[in-house]
Chain A
Amino acid sequence: EVQLLESGGGLVQAGGSLRLSCAASGFTFSTYAMNWVRQAPGKGLEWVSTTSVSGGNTYYADSVKGRFTISRDNSKNTLYLQMNSLRAEDTALYYCAKVLVARTYHDAFDIWGQGTMVTVAS
């Protein structure tokens, strides 16, 4: 079964840091671009970041650029999101998601984890 399992969320003070992880199973992780998407309480979905299959190319929403870093360890089938200089507006449920087709960015997100909650206290 294809599965994504996020972890690492929690309560942090504004200005603090947190590292999220997403463990993948049931598919060849190293051949898929991977993404982070967040959802603030009661709000819609917001794309956060994307990494290429190798991790050599990374992309960020303007709202997190310069503060968040996406990375991956293909030997461990794990995706990461390092979040620094956290703000109250970063409070959200963070999902990892894989693209539908291998080796492309040009696709929908077909598998999502259940999310990990990040709460930033001001």
Chain B
Amino acid sequence: EIVLTQSPGTLSLSPGERATLSCRASQSVSSYLAWYQQKPGQAPRLLIYGASSRATGIPDRFSGSGSGTDFTLTISRLEPEDFAVYYCHQYGSSPLYTFGQGTKLEIK
């Protein structure tokens, strides 16, 4: 089983700042890596797939990078609505998928 480790567990930033979230895989997943945003009481929303492609309707302040085992989600300028929990998800070993444990992005 491929294990995904996200860091940090919690990130405290202010609106307008830049956020950098990390996801590391225990073995290579090539570019089969997605990022989701989840707000309280809501289902996860797909942000990034294929490590760097933005999903439909996702603002361009969200960007993804990386391949192999190390991946990054960057939010260039935080908006108030961006404070949420973010999960990475590998589908390189699909149909045996795994998710990271999540990073909580909170307002400082």
Binding site for B on A (CB under 8 A): 33, 35, 37, 44-47, 50, 57, 59, 62, 95, 100, 105-110, 112-115
| Given A95-B43, A114-B43, A115-B43, A108 and B89 contact (CB-CB distance below 8 Å) | yes
Question: Which residues in chain B, 50-99, are within 8 Å of chain A measured between CB atoms?
Answer: 50, 55-56, 87, 89, 91-92, 94-99
- CA distance in complex: A110, B47 (Å): 9
What A residues does B46 contact at CB under 8 A? 100, 108-110
B34 within 8 A of A: yes
Write the nearest CB–CB distance from A97 to chain B, whole angstroms: 8
- CA distance in complex: A103, B43 (Å): 24
Interface of B is mostly: loop
Q: List 10 A-B contacts (CB under 8 A).
A: A33-B95, A44-B87, A44-B101, A45-B38, A45-B44, A100-B46, A106-B32, A106-B92, A107-B91, A110-B56
What A residues does B91 contact at CB under 8 A? 105-108
What B residues does A108 contact at CB under 8 A? 34, 46, 49-50, 55, 89, 91
- A-B pair number, CB within 8 angstroms: 64
| Given A44-B102, A106-B32, A50 and B43 contact (CB-CB distance below 8 Å) | no
Write the nearest CB–CB distance from A50 to chain B, whole angstroms: 4
Tally of B interface residues using CB under 8 Å? 26
B15 within 8 A of A: no
What B residues does A107 contact at CB under 8 A? 49, 91, 94
| Given A44-B102, A110-B55, A50 and B44 contact (CB-CB distance below 8 Å) | no
> Which of A106, A108, A109, A112 counts the most B-chain CB atoms under 10 A from its CB?
A108
Extra A-B contacts (20), CB below 8 Å, given A50-B95, A110-B49: A35-B97, A45-B87, A47-B96, A47-B97, A47-B98, A47-B99, A50-B94, A95-B44, A106-B32, A107-B49, A108-B34, A108-B49, A108-B50, A108-B89, A109-B34, A109-B46, A110-B46, A110-B56, A112-B45, A114-B43
| Given A100-B49, A114-B43, A59 and B34 contact (CB-CB distance below 8 Å) | no
Residue ID in chain A nearest B42 by CB atoms: A114
